[in-house]
Chain A
Amino acid sequence: MKKIKLFIILIFISLTTGCWNYRELNDLAIVSAIGIDEENGVYNVSVQIMDPAQQGGNTNSSGSSSESTPIDVYEGQGKTILEAISNVLLKQPGDIFLGHVDVVVISDQLARKGIENFIDFLLRDRESRKIFPMVITKNTKASDIIKLITPLELISGKYINSTLEATKKNNGIISNRLFDEVLMCLFVEGREATISSIELIGSPEKGENLDNPSTSIPSTYFQISGSGVFIDDKLVGYFDLKESMGYTYIRNQSESTVISVPCDNEGNYAGIKLEKSSSKLKTTIKDRKPIGEITFDTKAVISEFNCKMDLLKTENIKKMEKITNKELKKLLDNTMISAQKEFKSDVLGFGEYLYKNNYKEWKKYKKNWNETFSNMEYKIKVSTEIRNVGSIIDSLKNSYEGNPNYGKE
């Protein structure tokens, strides 16, 4: 008897489907990218929604034969991000679903004013995954990036995500790709934040057109351009590609990167692939002054060699190692000088080291750490170990007898 009663109650509950959280999949507007701008004091949020009828329905055909784009972009305005997003609901029927956001783009104007003002929403929302990439733009509006139609993967949000991931893995130019990494460096004491930056090349209007990727050279495309440097939560400048690479090395986040080093005095370069690097940061107090120390070890592989050196001799390998050390030291030095003199912001985390390992001393320097940092002395020690030289054991140039002009571009 009790079982029957329970059954009836259950069936009635389920049939009411007043189930307050019940939403069918096709009622959702699945957002793949968000762009945040500011205009006249209100936030302008552009939201890129995936159109399932274009994607799933045409799984057999390539999708480019359809007339309309696979994504739709809507813009909403409001004094808070929440208001702006609900403004979007006035324009399309789906329930905004942030569970699969692939990238969040913040315009540089807004970043200069401070990003802590509005990222609370992304943190508080239950569905957002908090491990999406976050980028800031350089000289572009965020909505232009969102409206871009990219080749190969028609949803630009996914395309940007994949590009960032590939760059991080193989190029080592960017770090702090994900939202929670950004949050960590915003909050931690003694270190300032950096966020990767992208820029749009070409005209924005042409980028919105479906024809954009259909030519062999797209007329509008985006490109990763380094990282933005922050003090507290305000943007103060940009690292360019090289400086950004140095930053990644110092923060011990490079996975596998490539650099070109000159191998002789005639302007020929060798390509060295750094496969496994580890970097250690230390701040010590000497004579009441903090001194920074960077130790960088790496295991490298010669991937491209355009000089006339005989790689079978050990002293040549040692010579290459020395040259690589010098180049790396130059790179890291460059980054440090940029951070110290140009931006006056401790993005590398020397203060953090002091905070975590020597709390008493940190309390003294806490107040104007960035000032102290910009005048801090530092030492850089680099050591390279060349493990392997690739499939061929000697350089092509060296074994080629004859034409001295071979290899010159």
Chain B
Amino acid sequence: MKIDQTNKKLMNSNKKNIEEIKKRIGDSPDIIIKKLSFMKNVIHVIFNETLCDQQIINKFILEYFVETPMKSNPENIVKYLSENIPTRKTTKISDFDTLFYNLFSGFTIILIDGEEEALSIETRFQLDSGIQEAKDEYVLKGPKDAFTENYQTNIGQIRRRIKTEKLWLKEVELGTKSKTKIGIMYVSDIANVELVEQVINKIKDIEIDAILGSNYVIETISENKRNVFPNYLSTERPDFVAMNLLEGRIAIIVENMQYVIIIPAVFVDFFHSTEDLYQKSINTTYTRLIRIAALLITLLVPAIYIAITTFNQEAIPESLIINFAAQRSGVPFPALIEAILMIITFEILRETNLRIPSTLGSALSIVGAIVLGEAAVSAGIVSPIMVIVVAITSISGLTVSSSDIINGIRWWRIIFIVLASVSGLLGVLIASILFILNLASIKSFGIPYLSPIAPYYKNNQGNSIFLFNKYKFFKRNSLTAKKNLYRSKEND
């Protein structure tokens, strides 16, 4: 962490220290400074009442100071207090930057007159929503708890599932004003330690004033910034994180952020979900194939529809061509404009659905459906077949289990449509090859994005598109796990 102003050391006299503190915080009224006396020393207890748990302060600190019987004055009062105050964690601080950091993290500072060191005691108040149900990633049969905004709780939820001592945690502090803690967790005898080193070094080099979400971190250390596809997974479920940690991946936990980032991630990982662990592997294979089919549908169907109705009409099955021609005869726009209009309207509806408060939600979705479905068709603005095509496209687009990939696919859908309306089926072919080229050129932290299909790794075929029992129970992903490739007892 870079220090950009001179870090003053604490001074002997409490009065001077308190003056300095008040000056720097602009005399803000939520900092409480209480004066006590203890064993002939003057002690000031400073805490921020909005961040601290009042009960702990009253019960353990203030009560201790008041009720401890007077004994002889110990020599090193700081050392004495740090060993005897009945709290979990005490640290010694000696400069103002650390003091402010601790003060605004919810710790209580004990300033002792005449000493140059102060003590900080953990008294944080839990300011989050508590462990709740996962709202965005729903799993039928698994545990339903999700991460919260509290850093400690998140790490606790992960540790609860992997109880080995090999699960290591490294911390970095980022952000000059937000001083957010970033935790990096990995299982030390499975993960790729070089990659962990590289990631930690890269994170330490980030210079920014505030980190408010995990995306800030990941965007900076990512290799392919300009590409629309993500090379990380973000999840709010601790069991998913545990599953991936055991495959040798690295989890990045950011304070105050409910989504944990998992790196490295390749293309096929976006079709896996935690559901895979809780169902039979052959049923999971079916579900994954449906997701991949949904991806193909959402990219190809509007493009192929435009291509075959405007360029290669002989590809339409004979029984449909008259129906299509009859439907298009009343519509004023060319097919390309119609498709783009419908897609934009669907996207607007989807955004609205996310942002609207729930009281208005149902009315708006009914209006949307009526507007799009019935009225537009009857008014002759769009043809019914186009509504069906766009509806299938959008619904398939939402089937893919991770929202990061959906946002990337929206761009490519438009490129497919534009190229199809320029040159028909040849355009669709060229767009597909461009798409595959783009995917093949990305690497996710050293692993090619399209592994294990291209380049073909035979050992990993069991957990990419298909899921075989052997891979569920006995083997690990050999691309991300560098050691301990088998899950048996002897190795672990």
Contacts and interface: CB of A to CB of B under 8 A. Distances in A.
A55 B421 contact: no
B322 A127 contact: no
A99 B329 contact: no
Interface in B228-246: none
A26 B310 contact: no
Interface in B332-354: 334-336
Interface of B: 226, 309-311, 313-314, 318, 321-329, 334-336, 415, 418-419, 421-424
A55 B326 CA distance: 7
A23 B323 CA distance: 17
Among A17, A22, A23, A57, find the residue whose CB has the most chain B CB atoms closer than 10 A.
A22
B314 A26 contact: no
A251 to B, nearest CB: 28
A322 B227 CA distance: 80
Nearest to A26: B329
Contact of B322 (A17, A22, A30): A30
Contacts of B324: 25, 56
A115 to B, nearest CB: 24
A22 to B, nearest CB: 5
Given A10-B418, A14-B336, A22 B327 contact: no
A52 B326 contact: yes
B313 A97 contact: yes
Contacts, number: 74
B326 A14 contact: no
21 contacts: A10-B415, A11-B418, A13-B422, A21-B311, A23-B310, A23-B311, A24-B310, A24-B335, A26-B329, A28-B313, A30-B321, A52-B326, A53-B326, A53-B329, A55-B323, A56-B323, A56-B324, A56-B325, A56-B326, A56-B327, A129-B314
A62 to B, nearest CB: 16
A17 B418 contact: no
A136 to B, nearest CB: 24
B313 A55 contact: no
B322 A50 contact: yes
A56 B309 CA distance: 16
Interface string A41-71: 0000000001011011101000000000000
B329 A14 contact: no
Query: For the side of the interface on A, what is the size category?
Result: 20 to 34
Interface string A85-119: 00000000000010110000000000000000000
Interface string A371-390: 00000000000000000000
Interface string A10-39: 110110010101111110101000000000
Contact of A100 (B226, B321, B334): B321
Contacts of B326: 52-53, 55-57
Task: Sort A-B residue pairs by CB-CB distance and give the 4 closest, nearest first.
Answer: A56-B326, A99-B314, A52-B325, A52-B326
A24 B334 contact: yes
A364 B309 CA distance: 55
B419 A22 contact: no
B421 A19 contact: yes
A140 to B, nearest CB: 26
Nearest to B415: A10
A363 interface: no
Given A57-B326, A100-B318, 12 more contacts: A10-B422, A11-B418, A14-B418, A14-B422, A22-B311, A25-B321, A26-B325, A28-B325, A30-B322, A53-B326, A55-B323, A55-B326
A370 to B, nearest CB: 39
A3 interface: yes
A386 B324 CA distance: 50
Contacts of A50: 322
Greatest chain A CB density within 10 A among B321, B327, B424 is at B321
Contacts of A13: 422
Contact of A22 (B310, B314, B321, B323): B310
Given A10-B415, A11-B418, A100 B328 contact: no
A99 B322 CA distance: 12
Contacts of B415: 10
A19 B226 CA distance: 31
B422 to A, nearest CB: 5
A24 B306 CA distance: 10
A17 B421 contact: yes
